[in-house]
Structure 1
Amino acid sequence: MRTLPRRSGPSAKTAAAAVVLFLLAGCGLLPGTTDAPPSSSPEVIGGVDEQLMPYYGQSVSWESCEGRFECADIEVPVDYADPDGESIKIAAIRSTTDGDSLGSILLNPGGPGGSGYDTVRGSLEQMTTEELRGSYDIVGFDPRGVKRSAPVTCLTDAERDAAREVQYDLDSDAGIAEAMEDSAELAEKCAAKTGEVLGHVDTASAAKDMDIIRAVVGDAKLNYLGFSYGTFLGATYADLFPERVGRMVLDGALDPSLTNEQVTLGQAKAFEGAIRSYAESCLASADCPLSGTVDQAVGQIQDLIRSVEANPLTAQDGRLVTVGTFVSGFIVPLYNDVNWPLLTRALDGAFDGDPTDMLYLADLGAERQADGDYTSNSTAAFTAINCLDYPMESDLAGMKENAAALEEASPTLGRYLAYGGTTCESWPAEPVRTPAPVDAAGADPILVIGTTGDPATPYEWAVSMTEQLESASLLTYEAQGHTAYGRGDSCVQNAVDSYFIEGTMPDEGTVC
């Protein structure tokens, strides 16, 4: 039986070279600020700029939705430098406790581009424990630019399918130039269809939205559970509002000090390690399509991927599977070792010339249904947010140098992670952030979790984030896969629950 991979990290950027046309969809601005009287106590909204008071004090009606949840739209300014200008609405959903609540925990599943709304609605039991849900209201939201919250809009579903079949010759300057031309055309479509908000979907603006959500739910401090990119969002909030940090868990840390190129290089190394771990496990099973030593097995995977690059395959539904789509599918089950059997099955078919199962995995990652409908705009949001958060290397010589470093770090995937700078070179909004360490001086204790075999957010990033944040402690999880909490390990779950419910941090240096 096929299971859905746990996938929340920043590696939607994988195969950027082969999939420079990031696949996009969504809506535009939602109007109007509210002049409703404040619904929160002075303690909850204290110290807020007067121009933002209509947002912090807005009256929000939580209504029953999705069967057993409550939903609300929360209004925020498009541009925090111009609070009297246009506004958008952030879609939020929450589960509530049956008895007394300790407050709310805001949850972000990662991305950027992941839907916290969908996570709470569809995966709450898998992502959190019964003890946590019984103690707190769990609030999910779609960050600005994502799905229900003024989503980034660029391509139709049919155009997204077509874009995923494009393959560029990145060994030639002409192929790189073609990729950059197509990226420029895509950027124009995004700007035309999305409007003003496209320049304001950066992480700092989303963190400021979280402070308004905190006030709207009536909490004096923000309690927060962030996975993968959600750790970067949480750390950004802590750096902006250290005095308003409550109990914060950052699981699968993304180091805020790294450049885009350093992030990609770190992921290349980590995914190469995950591939070797998968190959070793596969060779020990009875149905593995690989053979020989681990080195030989990895070599067979590399040869397969190169063969798809040279001669794209056709799936049973008639769709063309180019190397970008193939690599995207290959990466998805590496996020969770529980899903390694799915990769084995997909590789088995691909070695026989049938990429159908690999395409199925790629469609899961792209959130495409069998009927051709895409259920989210996660890739579009990923692109838009990263183009604002990271100045990217788009000089041809610099990109070639980065490409060589990536191939050295990951002989299997590095080639397909290169030339990501082509995507943002013509983006209609300039980056608003320079990568730098965060310290959140004065914040309450923050728990950072790192998984030693994490392919998407390497363990050393958790170590680095812990060192940067003044009040952080590190919990280490010795395992394969992306993130830790909610994956069934009682040691991790007990540590996180005790922190949230009792305020007890695990001992320094705890290893699970």
Structure 2
Amino acid sequence: MILALVAAGCTSSVDGASGPELPFEESAGPAGEVPDGLDEFYGQALTWEKCVDYASSDLDAQPLADPAVQCTHLTVPLDYTDPGGETIRIGVLRRPASNPAERIGSLLINPGGPGVAGLSTAAALGAENDDLAARFDFVGFDPRGVGSSEPTIECLTGDERDADRADDVEIDATGAGVTETEQENRDYATKCVERTEFGEEMLANLGTRDVVKDMDVLRSALGDEKLTYLGFSYGTRIGSTYAETFPENVRAMVLDGAVDPTKSPEDEVVAQGKGFQEAFDDFVAWCVDQGECPFDSAATATTAFQDLTRPLADNPIELPDGRPLSYEDATTGVIQALYSQQLWEHLKTGLTELSQGQGSTLMSLADLYLERGRDGEYSTTQDAFVAIRCVDDPRITEPAQVRFLGQRYLDAAPFLDHGNPPSPARDSCAFWPVPNTGEPHLPDVEGIPPVLVISTTGDPATPYQAGVALADALGGALLTYEATQHTVFLQGNPCVDDAGTAYLVDGTVPGEGTRCQP
């Protein structure tokens, strides 16, 4: 679809091609079927401008400074049952296809989370994958409540989150510890309501149910009759939910690092714990083989890791910047590094430092995971993560269930056993002021075209079998990647990238049993 320009000049654009001067207004919709009462949203004009002001964290700044990208805000209803009521705005980025003559349409991308801002992901992937970027506009969006979207979910200040990270009370299963933890979690829910514009109404309409409706508005406003979508990690749940909600609007979907739509939140947490334990074991085998590893052998590594990290709960390490490396921060840093083998060298360094009473590398990894900027401020991701999960899934409200789940998790991931009994303290979702809007189920997606699910055998965060289950649930094709990392498509593996690109361009799915290696 070639978009109609309402007002435009000329300047340098993608790969030196002539393109419109920013800002400019563009009207391309409505495209496809428009739900009743939503005509003005599906047919809205978009004003594209430079992206530098859309950066919501330090990590966003460089990719959003690329002159080849354009940004806008999409207006959508706050509550789709009341389209004439309050509206909110969704931040959107586009990197136009570098070969307009062979352009297929838009490729809408979500990096997961839930709650991760998506603009910089689309900008970076578009700049690094020439073949696909020649045929598609790479489009990223910040889901409602996230990043450059307006309003954002606001719960904790930067100082409050620093204090929360330094406080390891959540692993204290004594009566006083449980009381303190639950009070903190009640206070957190209250702050989310008080500090977020539209309060409870925003929190009630934040989840995946509403994000996929925003995506369909965006599809139409961009001028695409059908949606072409790439979802990573939790973005696979967004993809399967979109396919169930708008099956007639699906053109193609690549879902990488799958969330099993039928698995309960409890089983999902335990499966993730098992995945991180397996990734930790793989890291240890690599580390011992490399030499100069803080662990003597794989057989003793779990105990040795516990001996390194458990003392931090009572005696955190004070770092040069004055912050303490807590038990929570140390294990968060380790989890961050287990997402990708590219970070294993940093993890080895961090654990070696810890054995010497130092903690700067692990703190840096934890800051990366939690998206803490150099100025001490945080992105919206952590607050949005909690808020979205609280409305996307049923809550655990019985302390006995919480304790049982905690024990299951520690059994699945013994390297993360902190040495205390599992706490029965309920999390913030148990005190959330609005009901959940989703629950695990087998999606009804009859009539959608074949989708491509990519699953990695050693994925620590979204275990391989979840990809097998998702492909089966959607009647799609499964591509297996044999490695230890979280997600892989468009990250430089020719086998995976060629298969996914061929699918997105012409709909060709890989043959049954196709496997790729590093």
**TM-score clears 0.5:** yes
Contact 1:146–1:378 (CA under 8 A) maintained in structure 2: yes
Question: Which consecutive residues of structure 2, in runs of 5 or more, have no partner in the other structure?
Answer: 1-24, 52-64
> Which deviates the most, 276-285 or 250-259?
250-259
Residue of structure 1 equivalent to 2:135: 135
Residue of structure 1 equivalent to 2:340: 336
Partner secondary structure for residue 412 of structure 1:
helix
Contact 1:38–1:56 (CA under 8 A) maintained in structure 2: no
The structural deviation recorded for 1:75 is 0.7
Residue of structure 1 equivalent to 2:462: 457
The structural deviation recorded for 1:98 is 2.7
Contact 2:396–2:402 (CA under 8 A) maintained in structure 1: yes
Structure 1 residue 110 corresponds to structure 2 residue 97: no
Determine what percentage of the aligned residue pairs are the same residue.
39
Residue of structure 2 equivalent to 1:403: 406
Contact 1:268–1:414 (CA under 8 A) maintained in structure 2: no
Contact 2:219–2:226 (CA under 8 A) maintained in structure 1: yes
Contact 1:45–1:57 (CA under 8 A) maintained in structure 2: no
Amino acid at match of 1:221: K
Task: State the alpha-carbon separation in 2 of the partners of residues 239 and 479 from structure 1.
Answer: 31
Contact 2:178–2:423 (CA under 8 A) maintained in structure 1: no
Partner secondary structure for residue 295 of structure 2:
coil
Change in Cα spacing, 1:419 to 1:287, as seen in structure 2 (3 Å) is farther
Residue of structure 1 equivalent to 2:58: none
The structural deviation recorded for 1:218 is 0.6
Contact 1:115–1:147 (CA under 8 A) maintained in structure 2: yes
> Of the candidates 366, 371, 374, which is equivalent to residue 367 of structure 1?
371
Partner secondary structure for residue 209 of structure 2:
helix
> Of the candidates 182, 187, 190, which is equivalent to residue 188 of structure 1?
190
After superposition, where does 1:346-385 map in structure 2 within 5 Å? 346-374=350-378, 376-385=379-388
Amino acid at match of 2:183: E
Relative contact order (alpha carbons < 8 A, sep ≥ 6): 1 or 2 greater?
A: 1
Residue of structure 2 equivalent to 1:151: 152
Residue of structure 2 equivalent to 1:19: none
Amino acid at match of 1:91: G
Change in Cα spacing, 1:288 to 1:443, as seen in structure 2 (3 Å) is same
Partner secondary structure for residue 452 of structure 2:
strand
Residue of structure 1 equivalent to 2:20: none
Change in Cα spacing, 1:123 to 1:348, as seen in structure 2 (3 Å) is farther
Residue of structure 2 equivalent to 1:211: 216
Residue of structure 2 equivalent to 1:164: 165
Partner secondary structure for residue 226 of structure 1:
strand
Contact 1:69–1:93 (CA under 8 A) maintained in structure 2: yes
Task: State the alpha-carbon separation in 2 of the partners of residues 171 and 421 from structure 1.
Answer: 11
Question: What are the superposed Cα offsets for residues 61-108 of structure 1, whole Å, 9 maximum, x if unpaired?
Answer: 223444221111111111111111111010100101232211000000
Residue of structure 1 equivalent to 2:438: 433
Question: Which consecutive residues of structure 1, in runs of 5 or more, have no partner in the other structure?
Answer: 1-35
The structural deviation recorded for 1:426 is 1.0
Contact 2:110–2:232 (CA under 8 A) maintained in structure 1: yes
Contact 1:104–1:219 (CA under 8 A) maintained in structure 2: yes
Contact 2:181–2:425 (CA under 8 A) maintained in structure 1: no
RMSD of the alignment, in Å?
A: 1.8
TM-score by length of 1: 0.88
Contact 2:458–2:485 (CA under 8 A) maintained in structure 1: yes
Task: State the alpha-carbon separation in 1 of the partners of residues 365 and 26 from structure 2.
Answer: 49
> Of the candidates 488, 500, 504, which is equivalent to residue 484 of structure 1?
488
The structural deviation recorded for 1:286 is 2.6
Residue of structure 1 equivalent to 2:32: 45
Task: State the alpha-carbon separation in 2 of the partners of residues 363 and 209 from structure 1.
Answer: 30
Structure 1 residue 85 corresponds to structure 2 residue 85: yes
Partner secondary structure for residue 225 of structure 2:
coil
Number of residue pairs the alignment of both structures matches? 469
Task: State the alpha-carbon separation in 1 of the partners of residues 490 and 361 from structure 2.
Answer: 27
Partner secondary structure for residue 480 of structure 1:
coil
Question: What are the superposed Cα offsets for residues 360-393 of structure 1, whole Å, 9 maximum, x if unpaired?
Answer: 110111111233132x110000000000011121
Contact 2:179–2:425 (CA under 8 A) maintained in structure 1: no
Structure 1 residue 57 corresponds to structure 2 residue 17: no
Change in Cα spacing, 1:414 to 1:131, as seen in structure 2 (3 Å) is farther
Amino acid at match of 1:68: A
After superposition, where does 1:236-247 map in structure 2 within 5 Å? 236-247=241-252
TM-score by length of 2: 0.87
Amino acid at match of 2:36: E
Contact 1:110–1:230 (CA under 8 A) maintained in structure 2: yes
